[in-house]
Amino acid sequence: MPSSQPCSAAPSEAVSDGIRHGTRLGELLTSASDHSSVVDSRRARLRALAERADAHGNRAKAARIRAENLGTLKRDRRTLTWRAAVRTTTFEAVHAVVDKAAVIAAEDLTKDFTGRERLGKNTNRRLARWTEGVTAEALEAVSGRRGSAVRLVNAAYTSQVIPGSDAIGVSKGDRLHCTECGAVWKADHAGAVNVLRRLGDADIALWTPHRRVKRILQERTDRRRSRLPDQDSSTARMCRCGERTIQPPDIGQY
Residue 35 contacts residue 126 (beta carbons within 8 Å):
no
Query: Among candidates 8, 242, 180, 118, which has minimal Cα distance to 170?
Result: 180
List residues bridging with 103 in a β-sheet.
Answer: 149
Distance of CA 233 to the CA centre of its chain: 36
Which range among 47-56, 72-81, 239-248 shows the weakest confidence by mean pLDDT?
Answer: 239-248
Q: Would you state the pLDDT for residue 233?
A: 46
Q: How confident is the model at residue 103 (pLDDT cuts 50, 70, 90)?
A: confident
pTM for the whole thing?
0.70
**Better-predicted residue by pLDDT, 161 or 112:** 161
* DSSP H or E stretch at residue 16: none
**Is it the case that residue 118 has pLDDT exceeding 70?**
no
For residue range 149-200, list pLDDT tens digits in order. Answer: 889 888 889 889 888 888 888 888 888 888 777 788 888 888 888 888 888 8
Dihedral of CA atoms 62, 64, 70, 76 in degrees, nearest 10, equals 150
The whole-chain average pLDDT of the chain stands at: 77
**Is it the case that residue 88 has pLDDT exceeding 60?**
yes
- Distance (Å, rounded) from C-alpha 135 to C-alpha 94? 8
- Distance (Å, rounded) from C-alpha 6 to C-alpha 15? 10
Report which DSSP code applies to 17: T
**Hey, what amino acid is at 217?**
L
